[in-house]
Amino acid sequence: MKLRIVVTLKNGVLDPQGKAIHHALTGLGFTGVNDVRAGRLIELDVADNTTDEAIDEMCRKLLANTVIENYRVERASPGKVEAGFPSGDANKKGA
């Protein structure tokens, strides 16, 4: 079972990495960028019988610092094998 754990900073927490990216984009001449937030993504391949509780515990114990970070667990839909993850109108690029 493939999972994607998305870890993002909570609102109100300073994001120096995002600020640096924003600054760099502006410096490269990209206008119209209002805000940038940096986060982490962890792709897990776990056994099919792994419970939601176990996944939640992994996130709280290791993958995310819940004091300053939110996490979200996204699952690959069981019906769709080729897509890997449900990602709406996502475009795979740079392959």
Closest distance between a second copy and the C-beta of residue 85, in Å? 8
Question: Taking CB under 8 A as the rule, which mask of x and - marks residues 60-89 in contact with a second copy?
Answer: xxxxx-x--xxxxxxx-x-------xxxxx
Identify whether the C-beta of residue 70 lies closer than 8 Å to the C-beta of residue 14. no
Place of tokens 């995310």: 64
Q: Which two tokens stand for residue 75?
A: 């699952």
Nearer to a second copy, 16 or 32 (CB): 32
Phi, psi of 20 (to 5 degrees): -65, -40
Chosen residue from 12, 14, 16, 95 binding a second copy by CB under 8 A: 95
